[in-house]
Amino acid sequence: RKEVEQDPGPFNVPEGATVAFNCTYSNSASQSFFWYRQDCRKEPKLLMSVYSSGNEDGRFTAQLNRASQYISLLIRDSKLSDSATYLCVVNNGNNRLAFGKGNQVVVIP
């Protein structure tokens, strides 16, 4: 089983709609979790951390489910500018970060 798994998509979502996707991780000892955003041919940038209690940043909500070993990202009221690939990043407990392949989101006008 891969350390971090994401469905690459693409996730086609109409402008103004809500889109959500998950990331599963294999190491139950993983300590911390993050979402990074990567635009086409650009570098990844930190979007938000994922806390145990869940957290929200504007239209973005991240949640962690330790029992089932997944994290999720929900985007409400999608904007065209939200089109990007969202990378799941997990501290896997072996002193190393693990990156998922990313969920590609395409917001359609």
Partner 1 sequence: NAGVTQTPKFQVLKTGQSMTLQCAQDMNHNSMYWYRQDPGMGLRLIYYSASEGTTDKGEVPNGYNVSRLNKREFSLRLESAAPSQTSVYFCASSEWSGPTNEKLFFGSGTQLSVL
Return the range that interacts with partner 1 (CB under 8 A); candidates 12-20, 55-63, 65-73, 97-105.
Answer: 97-105
Q: Considering beta carbons, is residue 28 or 95 the nearer one to partner 1?
A: 95
Q: Does 95 bind partner 1 (CB under 8 A)?
A: yes
Contacts of 7 (CB under 8 A, 6+ apart): 21, 22, 103
CA distance 14 to 3: 31
Q: Considering beta carbons, is residue 13 or 48 the nearer one to partner 1?
A: 48
Return the range that interacts with partner 1 (CB under 8 A); candidates 10-18, 40-48, 64-72, 76-84.
Answer: 40-48
Size of the site for partner 1 (CB under 8 A): 24
Q: Which of 100, 103, 104, 105 binds partner 1 (CB under 8 A)?
A: 100
CB 71 within 8 A of CB 33: yes
- Name the site residues for partner 1 (rule: CB under 8 A): 4, 8, 31-32, 34, 36, 41-46, 49, 87, 89, 91, 95-102
